[in-house]
Amino acid sequence: MNRMKPGIFILGTDTGVGKTVVSAGIALALRERGLKVGVMKPVATGCYGPDGHLISQDAVYLFEAAENEYAPLTSPSRFRHPLAPSVAAMLEKREVALDRIRDAYMELQKHYDFMIVEGIGGLLVPVAKNYFVANLIRDFKLPVVIVARASLGTINHTLLTVDGSIVRGFEIRGIIFNRIPTVNYSLAEITNPKIIHELTGIPLLGSIPEMEDIDVDSCRYGRLKEVFLERVDIDRILANTAIA
C-alpha cells in the first residue's frame, strides 16, 4: 500500500467492550483540536435494512461524530448476521471483499488529517479465509489503541491482546479502559488497570466512566467529547506524527 496519513486502529480485547464509543470519543476530541478526522469501520456485522442497502449503526455513529462526507467508504463491507465476518459471509453466501476494503481506506485517507479505524471483535476474529483483524492492522500500517474492560477477566484478555500485538510487530500507543462504574464498583475494577500496566508496561491512556447520556443506536453523544478531553491522553495517541 502507498504512503498513509497518520492514524490509529482501535482494537478491542473482545466484542462489546465499547470500541465504537471510544473511536467516536477520540474523533470528537481530535476535532476539538482543529483536525479533520476520517473514520472507518472496514467490516461490520449485525447490520439492518434491505438487502443491498445494509446499514451499520456503529459506522453511522462514527460518521456523525467525525462529520465525514464519504459514507460508502466509511463502511465498505456489511453483513446482516451478528457474527464474525467470515461466518456471516458464509451464511449470506457472499464474500468479504478485501480489495474493496483496502481501496476504500486508500481513498478515504486522502481527505483527512488523521484516520481512526475501528476493528471488529478482537485481534484474531476471522474476517475472511486465512485473514484476521490482525491482517487489517498490518495492511493499514497503523499503531493500535487497545480498548478493554476493567472487570474480572480483563487481565487475561488484555495481556493476550498485548502479547499478540507485540508478536506481530504492532506499535501499541496505549490502553483505554471503558465503562468504569462510578458506583458499586468491584475490587477487580479498582485494581485491574494498575496491574495490567505493571505487567505490560503499556501506557494507560485513560479510563472512561459509564455514561447514561450516550447511546450508539440513537446517535447520542452526551458529554463524550468533554470526558475524552478530560480523561484521555490525546497527546500520546498523536505521538510521533507531524500533527502532534
For the annotated catalytic residues, the residue numbers are 41
Spatial distance between the Cα atoms of 25 and 224, rounded to a whole number of angstroms: 6
Question: 89 with 47: CB under 8 angstroms?
Answer: no
* Joined grid coordinates for residue 228: 475524552
Spatial distance between the Cα atoms of 102 and 100, rounded to a whole number of angstroms: 5
Q: Is 48 helix (H, G, I), strand (E, B) or coil?
A: strand
Question: 232 with 223: CB under 8 angstroms?
Answer: no
Q: Which of 34, 54, 30 is nearest to 44 (CA)?
A: 54
